[in-house]
Amino acid sequence: MSMKALNHLLGRSAIDPTIKEAFEEGRILELLAEYEFAPALWAELTALRAEDFADYAALAYRIVHDFEAAQESLRVPSPLMGLRASLDSVRSKEQAA
């Protein structure tokens, strides 16, 4: 969800000059508040320092990408995954016997 929010912010920045102005004036928190970033990202995204908005965007992209990749790796697979194949295998062995 955070990557979608970042993409929306960056896309908007291409047509809305107030985004870059707000960044240059140090109002990044106001910008981020308009989008649905994961709470765990707020501190990192507000603490980023960059010379211009393009640099900020590149750094923010890396942070959000890494965060979402870490979230994916934390997801535990369902205990039912693979159970169907195991049941089918047992059934076929039973029918063969």
Q: Work out the percent of the chain whose per-residue pLDDT is above 90.
A: 38
Residue 80 above 90 pLDDT?
no
Tens-place pLDDT, residues 29-53: 888 888 888 888 888 998 999 999 9
Q: Give pLDDT, residue 38.
A: 85
Residue 7 above 70 pLDDT?
yes
Q: Which carries the bigger pLDDT value, residue 82 or residue 29?
A: 29
Q: Give pLDDT, residue 97.
A: 55
In whole angstroms, how far apart are CA 28 and each of 1, 3, 37, 39, 72? 19, 17, 13, 15, 27
CB atoms within 10 A of CB 10: 17
